[in-house]
Amino acid sequence: MHFNYFLGFDVSRNTLDYALIGPDGGLIERGKVDNKVANIRQLLSSLVSQLNGPSSSLLICAEEGGLYTNFLKLVAAQEEYSLWMADALELKLRSGRRKEKSDPADAWMIPNFALRYADQAKIYQLPEAAIRQIKLASRQRQALDPRHCRLEKQARRTPDLWFRPRLFPLL
């Protein structure tokens, strides 16, 4: 696919910093929006209305950020936008050395990365419902495992005098 506009998101828990650039790399718009489905949908529709072409000429790129990217993934899938969830290490290695590390700076770097490597973009497809349920169950299990291990270790470290016969010889 050929893209003329590149929208980069730096995703955090509560907000999304974004930057929109044109085909020449010039900044069109930059800002911040709450990480909520309604706000993301409203932002994307207003940005697409500013473009001189169809929504298919827009490539949205974001760093894979686990659960915090789910709202962005959902809106992009529902509205049929081209979304590239870039690997964090790939972004870091291909972007070179940077002086500034902040959310707005990352939001500026991500669409420039997308502009440069658009031919290698892997467009995100929302998985089927069954696969989403399996992934959710797996994440919940992983979240419970450390708690379980911590309780087991704590139980092993706690001295249990009632079950140590050598400390209480028979009278």
- The tens digit of pLDDT for each residue in 100-136 reads 666 667 777 888 888 888 888 888 887 777 667 777 7
Residue 17: strand, helix, or coil: strand
Q: Is 149's pLDDT higher than 70?
A: no
171 belongs to a structural domain: no
Same domain, 68 and 143: no
170 belongs to a structural domain: no
CB 33 within 8 A of CB 39: yes
Q: Cα–Cα distance between 96 and 51 in angstroms, integer?
A: 29
Instruction: Return the C-alpha torsion angle 45, 126, 90, 92, nearest 10.
Output: 50
Same domain, 56 and 137: no
What percent of the chain stands above pLDDT 90? 13
CATH number at residue 107: 3.30.420.10
Same domain, 109 and 26: yes
Tokens of 22: 């044109």
Q: Cα–Cα distance between 159 and 30 in angstroms, integer?
A: 59
How much is the average pLDDT of 140-157? 67
Same domain, 149 and 84: no
Residue 120: strand, helix, or coil: helix
Q: Is 84's pLDDT higher than 70?
A: yes
Q: How confident is the model at residue 165, as a pLDDT? A: 52
Q: Cα–Cα distance between 135 and 58 in angstroms, integer?
A: 29
DSSP state of 128: P
How much is the average pLDDT of 131-152? 70
Helices (runs of H) and strands (runs of E) counted in the chain: 5, 5
Number of domains in the chain: 2
38 belongs to a structural domain: yes
Same domain, 138 and 78: no
Kindly report which listed range (7-11, 14-18, 28-32, 86-90) carries the lowest average pLDDT score: 86-90
What percent of the chain stands above pLDDT 70? 73
161 φ, ψ (degrees, to nearest 5): -70, -25
Range of the domain at 140: 129-161
Whether the pTM exceeds 0.75: the reply is no
Q: How confident is the model at residue 116, as a pLDDT? A: 84
Query: What contacts 64, CB < 8 A, 6 or more positions away?
Result: 85, 86, 87, 88
58 belongs to a structural domain: yes
Q: Is 65's pLDDT higher than 80?
A: no
Same domain, 116 and 133: no
